[in-house]
């Protein structure tokens, strides 16, 4: 992905993609609280902070830059998103975004929470 494409993604608001994550997971029989737990695990946000970021409409870049702590186990997230292996993504910001995408995919596919959270 080009740097210009990356910038476009970085500027997207978390609030604009979050409803898509909710729809994707609920369509597959998962619940919103599981989605929130996965996102909080990755970012270190608590539920109130997550809700605040949705309400204020921060960019994905700000969402990840302001994250209290990216989970140290996030580096264990492997696999492909859109044909690209997340563990091989060079841009650190794009890798974080794709980690989140991968976690949402795993949740929607019915993977057990213990396995998704990689503890």
Confidence of residue 2 (pLDDT cuts 50, 70, 90): low
* Mean pLDDT, range 30-43, rounded to an integer: 98
d(CA 4, CA 102): 22
Q: Are 56 and 63 in contact (CB under 8 A)?
A: no
Rounded to two decimals, the pTM is 0.92
Confidence of residue 82 (pLDDT cuts 50, 70, 90): confident
Helix (H/G/I), strand (E/B), else coil: 11 = helix
Does 1 have pLDDT greater than 60? Answer: no
CATH code of the domain made up of 3-110: 1.10.8.290
The tokens of 80 are what? 């492909």
Q: Show me where the domains of the chain are located.
A: 3-110
pLDDT of residue 69: 97
* Mean pLDDT, range 44-72, rounded to an integer: 97
């Amino acid at each position: 992905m080009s740097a210009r494409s990356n910038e476009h993604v970085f500027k997207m608001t978390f609030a604009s993609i979050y409803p898509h994550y909710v729809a994707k997971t609920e369509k597959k029989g998962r619940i919103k609280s599981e989605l929130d737990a996965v996102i909080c695990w990755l970012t270190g946000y608590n539920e109130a902070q997550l809700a605040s970021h949705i309400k204020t409409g921060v960019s994905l870049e700000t969402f990840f830059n302001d994250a209290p702590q990216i989970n140290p186990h996030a580096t264990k997230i492997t696999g492909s998103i859109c044909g690209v292996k997340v563990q091989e993504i060079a841009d650190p910001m794009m890798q974080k975004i794709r980690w989140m995408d991968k976690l949402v995919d795993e949740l929607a596919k019915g993977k057990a929470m213990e396995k998704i959270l990689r503890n």
